[in-house]
Amino acid sequence: MDLSTLCERYGERLALDDYADVDASPNGLQVGPDEKPVETVAFAVDAVEATIEVAAERDADVLVVHHGVSWGGIERVTGTEYGRVAPLVEHDVALYAAHLPLDGHPDLGNAAGVADTLGLVDREPFGELGPVTIGQRGRLESPVDRDDLAETLTAELDTGGRPVPVLDFGPETVEDVAVVTGAGADWLDEAVETDADAFVVGEGKHRVYHEAREAGLNVYLAGHYATETFGVRALRDLAAEWGLETTYVDHPTGL
């Protein structure tokens, strides 16, 4: 398969154009030629030296990630940027990034993956960001104790053995759950407005403690990395369906 074909297929499935005006990340091909044969595709959450080196060692033609190397443009390729871009060019590994489109996709997205893990039903888009959404909201088929929900997240997500912290200011029994992965705590107000019992995010900010307490909401800080492995794994499954060799580079941060 040609690189341009791979990019086109991903772009169509993820509706990249819908997120162009709201995403700081330029989604799509970030490093590489317009045309290049692709046989092996590596997948990782982050485009960093550690994952790029492994992708090169595994003879990947392209590395597909959630967090790329460009956030609003690169003025100079020095320092950290050079440390990441140089090995891509040296080893002829193209880089494809899908950020917010891979958070909000209803089937392939990170929030969808968390919702699948929890078995949420009656799901709907959540986490408004301009004209798009980046999360999901749904209902547990059977209400559970809020501590049991934390145990499920700890067991099922790649937390590195770290228990999922809970700001347990909401009801003891949880049924309605909202999800925005990664740095999703800014959507706490929307979770409150939609009467969620629990809000699952990757990481929080200091103010979230007080906001959750005052709103009477359970907030689960399930880990930025841990909540954002689902999307790239879903893209890996697509690449395999298209007949490409694939490999996954797991590099958890514990954060």
Per the annotation, binding residues for a divalent metal cation are 66-67, 103, 224, 228
Do residues 6 and 41 touch, judged by C-beta distance below 8 A?
yes
Q: Which residues fall in the annotated binding site? A: 66-67, 103, 224, 228
230-241 helix and 3-14 helix, angle to the nearest 10 degrees:
130
What is the per-residue DSSP string for 60-114?
-SEEEEEE-S-SS--S---HHHHHHHHHHHHTT-EEEE--HHHHH-TTTSHHHHH
Do residues 62 and 28 touch, judged by C-beta distance below 8 A?
no
- Give the C-alpha separation, 152 to 147, whole Å: 9
Q: What are phi and psi of 133, to 5 degrees?
A: -125, 155
Q: Name, in order, each residue with C-beta under 8 angstroms of 65's C-beta and a sequence gap of 6 or more.
A: 43, 44, 45, 46, 47, 51, 95, 96, 97, 98, 232
- Give the C-alpha separation, 7 to 10, whole Å: 5
Do residues 96 and 10 touch, judged by C-beta distance below 8 A?
yes
- Give the C-alpha separation, 152 to 169, whole Å: 19
